[in-house]
Amino acid sequence: MKIILVGCGKVGTTILDSLLEEGHDMMVVDSDPAVIEETSNIYDTMCVCGNGCDCEVLTEAGAEDTDLIIAATGSDEMNMLSCFLAKRMGAKHSIARIRNPEYNDQSLGFLRHQLDLSLAINPDRLAAYELFRILRLPAAINIETFSRRNFEMIEILLKPDSILDGLSLMEMRKKYQAQFLVSAVQRGEEVFIPGGNFVLRGGDRIGITAKTAEIVKLLKMLGLLQKQAKNVMILGGSRTTFYLAKMLLGSGCHVKIIDVDPEKCREFSDELNGAVVICGDGAQQELLMEEGIGTMDAFVSLTGMDEENLLISFFASSKGVPKVITKINRAEYFPMAEKLGLDSIVSPRKTVSDMVLRYTRALQNSLGSKMETLYRLMDDKVEALEFNVLPDFEWTDIELKDLKLKPNILIAGIIRDRTPLIPKGSDKILAGDKVVVFAGSKQVMDLADIMQ
């Protein structure tokens, strides 16, 4: 597809990486000459230096016949205007990054309709939802949801002395009577889409798919179930902090926020009724100790600096905080976090990139199914995808055991009439179903792509 990306900052660069990897014809627009020079030197893509709200610049970028425009500058208003102008000039679809909390659901819905936006993305809100899900089930290091949260995938890390060490998946299913499926396993640098004979080892990172109630049941049997975090300390007064604090306060949690900016602290005190807001430097260990970091159920580091988030999260972990979550945007820091024992990582940039990637693939597919969800898991080596099965899908009403799937592909779930099913060999895919697929290889654009 022909895609114009307006704004090539931190989020824009992550989106650009993903879409170039998918083979799209990219055009980058940015008003900063230094950004344009760096982008043209690093990436195999065309660039235009100029204002993304200037019709002449959009014309030079080819807005008249582009398939998709993505506006990811630091200004919500510029993003919306850029998309609006490009659509009027002939662009088929548009995605705008909109971050300001003042654009609530009602006003954002109105703006989307009036500006004819295909998709509006709020990275801070998406990250907050991700954090909230993990705090609800602290045993998980990552949680992704399918079918409007009826079906979940959780990642857990097996300790070296885990009771699952040495068990095959077939033995695990027999021993623990819960409806679940181990859909992916990461062992060191290798990732597996496992079969029933696959043997688990301590240190494995495993992805389990099931209904929420079945996941809780399994974790309880494994002795891994932790109570939901009720006392949460958040470092950094970001937009993500604002959204997360509102969610936590709404669910009855006690929230303590620390930020060094007095003005931001005043805003949070006024807008977050019930939260304790501390104005101070959270990088000072003495302050964290005074504010009771050792008594917290969870600590979330959301400052604007990855390095600071890493170091302070490590300190929180060393003080025995049961659940520590770290925001990291730079992918090169992920291995460092793992070496420090920090396994719950949230990356707003990656969340936005996954959402854009899902949308572009959904635009491309037309073979009897429609992509609804896409997540990249386990160092981006596995993709979890959810498809709606359309009436013209070629492989309906065939038992799964008779389907010839490509290697490293697993059908991990079928949602039928809002009821999730862990698939067996005798089950069939029917029109109207939602099908969750785990793929060890990328480029699964459509449900038909999993078939040989």
d(CA 148, CA 372): 10
Is residue 1 a contact partner of residue 364, using CB atoms and an 8 Å limit? Answer: yes
Mean pLDDT of 360-364: 82
CB atoms within 10 A of CB 4: 27
Q: What are phi and psi of 50, to 5 degrees?
A: 165, 180
Mean pLDDT of 410-419: 93
Is residue 408 a contact partner of residue 193, using CB atoms and an 8 Å limit? Answer: yes
pLDDT at 350 over 90: no
Determine whether domain 352-450 maps to CATH 3.60.40.10.
Answer: no
Is residue 13 a contact partner of residue 36, using CB atoms and an 8 Å limit? Answer: no
Write out the CATH class of domain 128-221.
Answer: alpha beta
pLDDT at 229 over 80: yes
- Region 2-121: CATH code: 3.40.50.720
When mean pLDDT is compared across 93-102, 251-260, 431-440, the lowest value belongs to 93-102
Task: Locate the DSSP E strands across 193-242.
Answer: 205-210, 231-235
The C-alpha angle 188, 304, 74, rounded to 5 degrees, equals 110
Is residue 285 a contact partner of residue 292, using CB atoms and an 8 Å limit? Answer: no
Write out the CATH class of domain 231-346.
Answer: alpha beta
Mean pLDDT of 355-375: 80
d(CA 261, CA 241): 14
Q: Would the CA dihedral through 280, 286, 288, 289 be positive or negative?
A: negative
When mean pLDDT is compared across 55-59, 94-98, 118-122, 424-428, the lowest value belongs to 118-122
Helices (H), 137-259: 169-175, 212-221, 239-250
pLDDT on residue 148:
72
Same fold for the pair 2-121 and 231-346: yes
CB atoms within 10 A of CB 45: 18
pLDDT at 442 over 60: yes
When mean pLDDT is compared across 74-78, 102-106, 130-134, 374-378, the lowest value belongs to 102-106
What is the tens place of the pLDDT at every residue in 48-92?
A: 999 999 999 999 999 999 999 999 999 999 999 999 999 999 999
pLDDT at 266 over 80: yes
* Burial group, residue 227, by CB count within 10 angstroms (0-12, 13-18, 19+): exposed
d(CA 280, CA 262): 8
Pairing assessment for the beta strands 205-210 and 181-187 based on DSSP bridges:
antiparallel
When mean pLDDT is compared across 34-48, 143-157, 178-192, 307-321, the lowest value belongs to 143-157
Residue with tokens 């104005």: 279
d(CA 325, CA 445): 32
Average pLDDT, the chain: 92
d(CA 45, CA 354): 20
Percent of the chain whose predicted confidence (pLDDT) is above 90: 72
Most confident residue range from 88-97, 337-346, 385-394: 88-97
Q: Please give the structure tokens belonging to residue 404.
A: 């010839």
What is the tens place of the pLDDT at every residue in 173-185?
A: 899 988 899 999 9
Is residue 65 a contact partner of residue 3, using CB atoms and an 8 Å limit? Answer: no
User: pLDDT-derived band of residue 104, with 50, 70 and 90 as boundaries?
Assistant: low
Domain boundaries, the chain: 2-121, 128-221, 231-346, 352-450
pLDDT on residue 100:
82
pTM attached to this predicted model: 0.87
Going by C-alpha positions, the residue among 393, 278, 357 that lies closest to residue 70 is 357
